[in-house]
Structure 1
């Protein structure tokens, strides 16, 4: 995970939320690296808590609207999970025979049928890693991880 984040940083590809305020931009890189090295997505979300690192309003369809109160949670969970999946892909590529499977990592109050259909799907580690590396800040082509879906990837026991 940490190596993948450092790769994005070295290539100036690290994704910064468009909702970040000046403080969010200033602390995100260091905070993300610390979270990936020593903490979890909950810690990352707490460090980025909305009023501290996110703008309170944004322009949407020409109107000023409030940024959702869960913006930091959505962003932290989504980005942490992306680096987690990228780390698992690298592990699988370095350990032949290792398989990766989609699973429900977090309960969703309104699970989408298309998300539910992905549970149990086996992923090709190289395809998934390439997808996640090339589609930073946007939804991956192969649909994982989906923001707010509660889905992630696990190593399948042999």
Structure 2
């Protein structure tokens, strides 16, 4: 994926996910106020959300590796994409500084969506990191 990431973007990954049929169309969900399960439709934005999130994680990992190699002590969280209704937890992380080693360790130890440090803070947050000198 590293080669693809350097030559493509999240829109390309989204299209690949769709073209290859990598997402289910439905998933099991519990009915409200019940123990009964039902099949819910996967949101039509799922491929986009997944692609953006994975590219952001890869970007954060790459930028943190670069910062570490160049002896840059901190990276900073910032809003890279406008959000109509930003989540409070996303807003709270903007401007925070992190050691690149912390970001790398966190991303390696938390391969899913959520990380312990909250960078990146989950799908559709619009938050990523930048180098600071």
Question: TM-score, with normalisation over the residues of structure 2?
Answer: 0.86
2:81 partner SS: coil
**Residue 42 of structure 1 aligns with which residue?**
11
Q: Where does 1:1-40 land on structure 2 (aligned, <5 Å)? A: 32-40=1-9
- Deviations along 1:120-150, one digit per CA (max 9) or x if unpaired, are 1111111111010011014100111122110
**Residue 104 of structure 2 aligns with which residue?**
129
Q: Where does 1:1-150 land on structure 2 (aligned, <5 Å)? A: 32-49=1-18, 52-61=21-30, 62-146=37-121, 147-150=123-126
- Structure 2: runs of 5+ lacking an equivalent: 31-36
Is the deviation greater in 97-106 or in 120-129?
97-106
Question: TM-score, with normalisation over the residues of structure 1?
Answer: 0.73
- RMSD between aligned alpha carbons? 1.7
- Structure 1: runs of 5+ lacking an equivalent: 1-31
- Return the offset for 1:49: 2.4
Contact persistence 2:73–2:100 (CA under 8 A): no
| Greater helix fraction, Structure 1 or Structure 2 | 1
Q: How many residues align?
A: 126
1:103 partner SS: strand
2:93 partner SS: coil
